[in-house]
Structure 1
Amino acid sequence: MSPRFALFAFVLLSLGGGGLIGLLVETGDWYQSLAKPAFNPPGFVFGPVWTVLYILIGFAGFRVWRAGLRRLQQLWWAQLALNFAWPVLFFSAHALTGALAVIALLVLVILAFVAIAWTRERLSALLFLPYALWTLFAALLNASIVWMN
């Protein structure tokens, strides 16, 4: 596979997969009726933030694939699966506590990716830092919603 095609495929997978999940998962009246903390961002923030993050995630996935870093590839796929599972649990299944468990595991996988990549593929680690910060924030938000509801 050519590097350009592979880069396109990784970005398309993460961005397209995240976009598809976003389209298929309905937040609706149920989410609006939940008590939320004061630091809950307005809805219009999530689309642009996730667009940028999914591009960074895709680029990092391409880099660890190209470098042949098997353990990082496994962590990359694990974070993507957990990332795509979270909105289904939270918004579709209304499983707030289950979603919290998934996002906590997602944070751990992202941090493991960053820690391992730091010495072997530093740019990929740096690409994951905004994702780690946003996911930590999202986990705090998820925990707050569980607590308040």
Structure 2
Amino acid sequence: MTYTHTDTAEALAGPRPGFWKPFGIAFLLAMVVGGLGALTTDLSSWYLSLNKPSWQPPDWAFGPAWTIIYAFTALAAVYAWREAPTRDDKLTIIVLFLCTAFFNLLWSLLFFRLQRPDWALIEVGALWASVFIPIIVLARYSKTASWLLMPYLVWVTFAGFLNYTVVQLNPQVIAQ
């Protein structure tokens, strides 16, 4: 990625007038996705009985982490949306975020509801791509938007490694 004076100025200047209403809407939509994810995330006796690595964050940390990630995602959406020059560009942004939301929810459904961490491990590749691709595409409109998605990519990368480790530590789950 190359950086221009405009990108730096955008990041340092903060939000332009009229920013907070679109951000509020985007944040609300992100929280709806988060709420749906929470509904599919069942910390049942099945999950609690899984062998997990010692380096897994405590269960209470996932809620705040996702809230921060969704706030950054909402900011990224607004920054990109405001800089997208055409209606087609704006539609592309919407489709990208819908794909990310879909794969995020699908991962929770596979791992927690269907109790298939092995299937979730396969799906996490699609989730990772659904975060990585917007980072590349949004950079056309706003470098700030692109950078705001980096914590999401780091988190999904970490979650993928955690998912892999859970599968390795629980071969009995795969055998069922």
Residue 94 of structure 2 is aligned to residue 87 of structure 1: no
Structure 2 gaps, min length 5: 1-17, 171-176
Query: Which shifted more, 58-67 or 36-45?
Result: 58-67
User: Which of 80, 84, 94 is residue 73 of structure 1 equivalent to?
Assistant: 94
Amino acid at match of 1:29: S
Normalised to the residue count of structure 2, the TM-score between the two structures is: 0.75
Shift of the 80–24 alpha-carbon distance from structure 1 to 2, 3 Å rule, reads: closer
Shift of the 37–115 alpha-carbon distance from structure 1 to 2, 3 Å rule, reads: same
In structure 1, what is the equivalent of residue 10 of structure 2?
A: none
Shift of the 64–73 alpha-carbon distance from structure 1 to 2, 3 Å rule, reads: farther
Deviations 1:53-108 (A, max 9, x none): 11111221223333333434322221111112211111111121221122211111
* Counterpart Cα distance in 2 of 1:98 and 1:147: 13
Whichever structure has more helix as a proportion of its residues is 1
Q: CA deviation at 1:47?
A: 1.0
Figure out how many residues of one structure are paired with residues of the other and give that number: 148
* Counterpart Cα distance in 1 of 2:47 and 2:39: 15
Task: Give the 5 Å matches for 1:54-65.
Answer: 54-65=70-81
In structure 2, what is the equivalent of residue 145 of structure 1?
A: 166
In structure 1, what is the equivalent of residue 34 of structure 2?
A: 18
* Counterpart Cα distance in 1 of 2:163 and 2:116: 11
Residue 144 of structure 2 is aligned to residue 128 of structure 1: no
Query: Which shifted more, 76-85 or 132-141?
Result: 76-85
Q: Does the 8 Å contact 2:40/2:112 carry over to 1?
A: no
Aligned CA-pair RMSD: 1.9
Deviations 1:106-146 (A, max 9, x none): 11121121122234311111110111101100010011111
Deviations 1:14-63 (A, max 9, x none): 12320343145311211111111121111111111111111111221223
In structure 1, what is the equivalent of residue 65 of structure 2?
A: 49
Q: Does the 8 Å contact 1:64/1:73 carry over to 2?
A: no
User: Which of 22, 46, 64 is residue 6 of structure 1 equivalent to?
Assistant: 22
Q: CA deviation at 1:3?
A: 5.5
Q: Report the structure number with the largest CA radius of gyration.
A: 2
